[in-house]
Amino acid sequence: MERSGRASSANRIEAVVFDYGGVIISPIVDKVSVLADRFGITMPELLEVLLGPRESGDHPWHRCERGEIAVADIQGLLEPWARAAGLSLHGDEIDVLMDPTYSVIDAVVERIARLKAAGYRTALLTNTFAEYRPTMQQVVPFAHFHAVVESFAVKARKPESAIYEATASMLGVAHDRILYLDDFDQNLQPAVALGWNVVHVTGPDQCLRELDRLAPLG
Ligand SMILES: [Mg+2]
């Protein structure tokens, strides 16, 4: 299964798996910062109220990403988390978060297509809602991927290990042959535990440099 003529560790990579928010489009946290200013609290504090804690649990955002409730139900279920943080929500916070103001990282979208053309298996691995799929399909053609792994469809969300297992299974590739790119460090830890190679994405240029290094096209 080794690619001939390559001796570096890069020749181990057979599949490249991409997160969506913060890798293919600008980070959702850009929008959260606007809301955090509204309340005069830090972004991490507000993230925990609106998107839930780092650990997967029963926060409504997590439940929606597992396909258990609709996006429209999230805002009305946030009260216990807001109260615990001493916040009085305005009621439009989830609408603001879902407002489709983002930029597409075109160079990454193009790279996905080139990786597939070069013979790599490719996948999208994203915590997302059923309601968001039409938007996502406009941003990145699903034909660029051998596997599109959406949390609501799999009924598991990152960082739950089941969604990583499902991704490897859908790709038909051994764990240690997978390269995974995500901007949330908590989403990388379960992948590392399975033996995946990972990149903590901090920006588009760094993302492309790491792809050059670990999943070369030439
Ligand atoms: Mg992300």
Question: Does the pLDDT value for residue 2 go beyond 50?
Answer: no
Q: Which tokens is 62 given?
A: 């997590």
Please count the residues of the chain.
Answer: 218
218 CA to middle of ligand 1, Å?
28
Q: Is the pLDDT of residue 8 over 60?
A: no
Distance from residue 80's CA to the centre of ligand 1 (Å): 25
Residue 3 has pLDDT above 60, yes or no: no
Q: 181: which 2 tokens?
A: 């790119």
Q: So what's the pLDDT on residue 186?
A: 93
The answer to whether residue 5 scores a pLDDT higher than 70 is: no
pLDDT of residue 32: 76
Percent pLDDT > 90 in the chain is: 80
Distance 167 CA to ligand 1 centre (A): 16
Average pLDDT on 126-132 reads 93
Alpha carbon 36 to its chain centroid, in Å, reads 22
Of residues 193 and 44, the one with the higher pLDDT is: 193
Domain boundaries, the chain: 9-27+103-214, 29-98
Query: 11 with 3: CB under 8 angstroms?
Result: yes
10 C-alpha vs ligand 1 centroid, how far in Å? 24
Say whether pLDDT at 10 is over 80: no
| Cα gap 190→196, rounded to integer Å | 9
What is the distance in A from the centroid of ligand 1 to the CA of 153? Answer: 18
User: From the CA of 6, how far away is ligand 1's center (Å)?
Assistant: 31
- The pTM for the full model equals 0.87
* 9-27+103-214: in CATH 1.10.260.40: no
User: In whole angstroms, what is the distance from residue 196 CA to residue 202 CA?
Assistant: 19
Best CA proximity match to 102, nearest among 186, 46, 36, 20? 20
- CA within 13 Å, CB half, 129: 18
Q: 41-84: per-residue pLDDT in tens?
A: 998 899 899 999 999 999 999 999 999 999 999 999 999 999 99
Compute, in angstroms, the gap from residue 97 CA to the centroid of ligand 1. 14
CA gap 156, 153 in Å, rounded: 8
Tens of pLDDT along 17-31? 999 999 999 887 667
Mean pLDDT across the chain: 92
**pLDDT, average across residues 155-164:** 98
Query: Which H helix or E strand runs over 129?
Result: none
- The pLDDT assigned to 166 comes to 98
Tell me, in angstroms, the distance from the centre of ligand 1 to residue 18's CA.
9
H or E segment at 32? helix 29-39
- pLDDT at position 16: 98
* The pLDDT of residue 11 is above 70: no
- 161: tokens are 């290990």
Structure tokens at 120: 């790599």
Report how far ligand 1's centroid is from the alpha carbon of 21 (Å): 4
Instruction: Supply the pLDDT for residue 1.
Output: 39
> Separation of 1 CA from ligand 1 center, angstroms?
31
C-alpha span between 67 and 80 (Å, rounded): 21
Q: pLDDT tens-digit profile of 87-120?
A: 999 999 998 888 767 889 999 999 999 999 999 9
- As a whole number of angstroms, the distance between CA 192 and CA 176 comes to 9
